[in-house]
Amino acid sequence: MSASVDFQEAEYATERPLLEIRNLAIGFTTSNGEVNAVRNAHLTIMPGETVAIVGESGSGKSTTALAAIGLLPGNGRVSAGQILFDGEDISSAGEKRMIELRGNSIGMVPQDPMSNLNPVWKIGDQVRETLKANSLPSGPDDVAKVLSQAGLPDAASRAKQYPHEFSGGMRQRALIAIGLSCQPRLLIADEPTSALDVTVQRQILDHLDKMTTELGTAVLLITHDLGLAAERADQVVVMYRGQVVESGPSLELLQNPQHPYTQRLVASAPSLASRRIQAAKELGVETDDMLAPAETAAVQSSAPDEVLQIQNLRKVFKLRSGFGKSTDFTAVDDVSFSVKRGTTTAIVGESGSGKSTVAQMVLNLLTPTSGKIVFDGVDTSTLNSKEIFAFRRRVQPIFQDPYGSLDPMYNIFRTIEEPLRTHKIGDKTSREKKVRELLDQVALPQSTMQRYPNELSGGQRQRVAIARALALDPEVIICDEAVSALDVLVQAQVLNLLADLQSRLGLTYLFITHDLAVVRQIADHVCVMQKGRLVEAGSTDDVFDAPQQDYTKALLNAIPGAGLMLPPEVA
């Protein structure tokens, strides 16, 4: 530990920690007996301090936080250790005491703004009951005040609306309002912005920072994003498989990670890494597979023609506004760009920018209102059903949710074999051989064939989805948020795999994503979309180094941890 820590400790020496977790162990009773989700966890939060717990899904970070507010799920319990809140051990406190503490001493801002507000009550009611439960004045003015402090415009009338009438960012503001409404001394913020767009994320976190600073609230921030943690927290605690592997002041921990897991996390954090993966390969950095030189040469020698040309693409949806009337909603407005064979083009934008609509039109799943999509010299709107069938063979999708895009009733062999069977390619033996090859290509063991999606991890499932997309030897792969649902380390592996497959097979990728950090790692060209329009397009380096449009600059600035300086050997 360095001098700065000693200094901080000295500074707080006279003060008692607001929250102190000692030797905490949390077990879950399952049908297979007791499972330990958290072991031997330590954590200290001083009054007014922000501490972040960082880790991937399943690391126990949320479980630790929920234990601190007594909200473990029914089958979970604290099996050892202490949770001291202002000196009082609340790990063994009764429900009555916890109800007293919740709300006015310990507040919570939950993760998913879509599911954490009760859909059948007005926003105002949900704020009011919080104030009321903690014996605070709860008139309409008090409710409006709480909401407007959380940055909700026009709070008095907004309070009369239902959650479904709010956008994701507004719901999160309402949840922050609820969490801070009773001015708790500790706020537990469990991934408070992971479901939001990056620019909204920044606004919300800035606002949360401002409010907690004003109120002197200590914050326990749970996040999977190391960059975000480093930017927002004074102290970072890294959890891995239920244990705290490292903790310390944020910047120090980031610049000089001690534990191997932290080192890996720092190295692969997309918000901190900043080079195209292929570039890394050229530098001699090892990836999953070594390149076969002959194949690379072959790919490079083929002329970089434009395999996809999108010309003045428009898509207008009719929104029903009742009784035969409808209003037009332009989801995609006059978008033109082209994709060169063997390269990766990324379309970035926030939700509602129309990027996924573009992807669906390129996949010929939606018909454009006007404009053309030219694939390999042919306008896709002129294809008859037979030609569309052939087109689908050459253009394959990989979707966001590896849980939803694989049929749970199909084993992996059947999943990967299905496109081959549909397109009547080969016979039973040759198809099985092909599936085995595909599994090799995506670095999954052959034994995976007999397993079912629910037996695989998220990363493994996404590999299966990639294998399925590759089964028909396509030329273009459309990745619609293909890595967004994955943990950082897994995300890095999958991106490496995609880059590797591209250089071996000469694939063309059209990458739809909201995550600029991912764009940086995988794309050659970037198209930035906002509200249906293409606002900026260019090579990745140009767009990142010298963004022309204000919107692009705002997006880039909003990447958590973008402003942090790291030693080059780590980044």
Taking the complex as a whole, the smallest distance from the CB of residue 211 to another protein amounts, in Å, to 17
C-alpha of 555 from chain center: 15
d(CA 250, CA 8): 13
The stretch near another protein (CB under 8 A) out of 178-186, 364-372, 443-451, 528-536 is 178-186
192 part of the interface to another protein, by CB under 8 A: no
Cβ closer to another protein: 181 or 415? Answer: 181
Total residues binding another protein (CB under 8 A):
35
Q: Candidates 49-57, 103-111, 335-343, 474-482 — which segment interacts with another protein by CB under 8 A?
A: 103-111
Per-residue burial over 192-226, b if 16 or more Cβ lie within 10 Å, else e, is: bbebbbbbbbbbbbebbeebbeeeebbbbbbbbbb
Give yes or no for residue 118 binding another protein (CB under 8 A): yes
Q: How near is the Cβ of 69 to another protein at its closest, in Å? A: 6
Site membership for another protein, residue 128 (CB under 8 A):
no
Which residue stretch of 128-136, 140-148, 363-371, 430-438 sits at the interface with another protein (rule: CB under 8 A)?
Answer: 128-136
Smallest gap from Cβ 97 to another protein, in A, equals 11
3-class DSSP state of 399: coil
Residue span binding another protein (CB under 8 A) among the ranges 17-25, 173-181, 234-242, 254-262: 173-181
Token readout for 425 is 């390619």
- Pairing mode of beta strands 370-375, 306-320: antiparallel
Q: Are 533 and 337 in contact (CB under 8 A)?
A: no
The residue from 37, 108, 439, 477 that contacts another protein (CB under 8 A) is: 108
Q: What is the DSSP letter of 16?
A: P
The smaller minimum CB distance to another protein, of residues 179 and 227, is found at 179
Q: Is position 31 an interface residue for another protein (rule: CB under 8 A)?
A: no
Asked if 182 interacts with another protein (CB under 8 A), we say: yes
- 306 binds another protein, rule: CB under 8 A: no
What does residue 300 show for φ and ψ, rounded to 5 degrees? Answer: -70, -30
The sign one gets for the Cα dihedral 275, 278, 279, 285 is: positive
* Residue 100 sits in the site that holds another protein (CB under 8 A): yes
- SS3 per residue for 125-185: HHHHHHHHHCCCCCCHHHHHHHHHHCCCCCHHHHCCCCHHHCCHHHHHHHHHHHHHCCCCC
Residues 6+ apart with CB under 8 A from 111: 62, 190, 191, 192, 194, 195
Residue choice 130, 357, 405, 508 for contact with another protein (CB under 8 A): 130
| Residue 254 engages another protein in binding (rule: CB under 8 A) | no
Query: For residue 353, which amino acid is it?
Result: S
- What type of residue is 97? R
Choose between 219 and 501: whose C-beta lies nearer to another protein. 219
Mask for 316-355, x = binds another protein (CB under 8 A):
-----xxx--------------------------------
CB of 228 to another protein, least distance (A): 21
- Is 90 near another protein (CB under 8 A)? no
3-state secondary structure of 6: helix
How near is the Cβ of 285 to another protein at its closest, in Å? 41
Instruction: Candidates 92-100, 442-450, 480-488, 529-537: pick the segment binding another protein (CB under 8 A).
Output: 92-100
Q: Is 62 in the site for another protein (CB under 8 A)?
A: no
CA angle 399, 402, 404 (to 5 degrees): 90
Shortest Cβ distance from residue 178 to another protein (Å)?
A: 6
Q: Which of 50, 64, 116, 345 forms a contact with another protein (CB under 8 A)? A: 116
* Residue 124 lies near another protein (rule: CB under 8 A): no
Which residues, including other chains, have CB under 8 Å from residue 100's CB and lie 6 or more apart?
none
- Among residues 138 and 262, whose Cβ is nearest to another protein? 138
* Nearest distance, CB of residue 129 and another protein, angstroms: 6
Could you say whether residue 244 binds another protein (CB under 8 A)? no
3 state SS of 210: helix
C-beta of 134 vs 503, nearer to another protein: 134
Structural contact between residues 247 and 21, judged by C-beta atoms closer than 8 angstroms: no
Closest CB 476 distance from another protein, rounded Å: 38
Per-residue HEC secondary structure of 274-312 comes to CCCHHHHHHCCCCCCCCCCHHHHHHHHHCCCCEEEEEEE
Per CB under 8 A, does 69 bind another protein? Answer: yes
**Helix, strand, coil percentages for the chain (3-state, nearest 5):** 40, 25, 35
| Shortest CB 302 distance to another protein, Å | 51
For 555, other C-beta atoms within 10 Å of its C-beta total: 26
The only residue of 7, 121, 329, 389 in contact with another protein, by rule CB under 8 A: 121
Q: Which of residues 482-511 bind another protein (CB under 8 A)?
A: none
Where do contacts with another protein occur on this chain (CB under 8 A)? 69, 71, 73, 95, 99-104, 107-108, 110-112, 115-121, 129-130, 133-134, 162, 164, 175, 178-179, 182, 321-323
